[in-house]
Amino acid sequence: MNQSPTAMALLYREAMSKVAAAVHVITTEGEAGRYGITLTAVASVTDSPPTLLLCINRNARIQPILRANGQLCVNVLAASQQDVAEHFAGMTSIPAHERFLQHDWQNHQHTTQPQLVGALAHLHGRIIDSHDMGSHSVFYVAIEYINVNEQDNQGLLYFQRQFTQTAVPVCEAGCV
């Protein structure tokens, strides 16, 4: 007997909660305005040319803004930036128009996209393609500028519906 679509959707969400994912804040600024969203559905497509894919719910408020602006920054969050993730996920009472006021942001010198000071990395790019798949849109982003924070910080993860952080392996004698 097959499971109902509703049961499958619930089981799928539960299964995906068992997959640890890096936490990002996607930001965009342009003629359509400035906006950001917390996202875990970010994946590398290829490094030649550097391309990412983002999966964003079709009902998300960022959708029309992102499509109109065409550019974005993927801010890879450090473990110490959980509050940023919570604000941009709408988990706090901070309204969307005040979220950028809560943290230290600067606009990239070439792309003018907002980037979070202290993030593990900033990947600036432009949307080159998108398509809808079920409840989400898949965006392909050509990366044009990259900044990697050289500080040794822990990454912020989302696992089993809660935030956690990466663990740095302890090197015992004999580690290379």
Torsion of CA 43, 47, 49, 50, to 10 degrees: 50
For every one of its 176 residues, what pLDDT tens digit does the chain have, with 9 covering 90 and above? 688 888 888 998 899 889 899 999 999 999 999 999 999 999 999 999 999 999 999 999 999 999 999 999 999 999 999 999 999 999 999 999 899 999 999 999 999 999 999 999 999 999 999 999 999 999 999 999 999 998 768 999 999 999 999 876 666 665 66
Ramachandran region, residue 10 (left: φ > 0; alpha: ψ -120 to 50; beta: rest): alpha
Strands, E, within 23-100: which ranges? 24-30, 33-39, 42-47, 50-57, 71-76
Q: Of 2.40.50.180, 3.40.190.10, 2.30.110.10, 3.40.50.300, which CATH number belongs to 21-163? A: 2.30.110.10
Tokens 């393609």 map to which residue? 129
Please tell me the distance from the alpha carbon of residue 158 to that of residue 168, in angstroms, as a whole number. 16
Tokens 């202290």 belong to residue: 118
Nearest Cα neighbor of 113 from 42, 22, 26, 45 is 26
What gap in Å lies between CA 138 and CA 164, rounded to an integer?
26
